[in-house]
Structure 1
């Protein structure tokens, strides 16, 4: 039972962390993130913020995403446009909502354990994961 709870914690924390990382790639300042903004975009990675913007976009916007991410035909101004579309379609907010959901699942998986330093440390990791700045 404890093993399953810790496995659920790890899985849900991992998903939350990745979703936050995906959102940060389109929103954070380079110094805060520790990597160049738009790395996922330039590598053609299709992350949740992109998926949401694509689904909510019009045909011209979908063509933009396909050109940039499937065909990897990117122009210097395309990252700015991608960030704008992601903001326009509330993709970052919705990605963060999902990240918070998985963080809550990770936190809930710790309910099985008595309060102690280790449990508090695991909860602190969840908080750090979600509270990384944009």
Structure 2
């Protein structure tokens, strides 16, 4: 988890609309880590065997999530550049929606793509809004 936390912190340090390749690299790494963790749970809970099938599941999940992450990073960055509104949450909605379409394409389902587009778009936009406005979802730890 330190890798994910570290990459997310670096992502938020880079101003929106700048250094798109670095942002795509960071979000792709986070996506790959999430995909790998998810595939491990899938393999354990579904008792996937033989080993080759487990490797295929892990690879497919990891590559899909890395792609989703990289597409999100690139799309939000390019949207900020093209629209010339770097701090606009709409850039994040566009990035989340584009990323959601990858799930639809992978599932060969318009319904899945549409739902993921709206869901991830809203999640990303609200995440950007919460960062801009300093929302706190949990109190800081007591030391």
More helix by share: 2
Report the TM-score, using the length of structure 2 for normalisation.
0.27
Report the TM-score, using the length of structure 1 for normalisation.
0.29
Specify the structure having the higher radius of gyration (Cα).
1
Higher RCO (CA < 8 A, seq sep 6+): 1
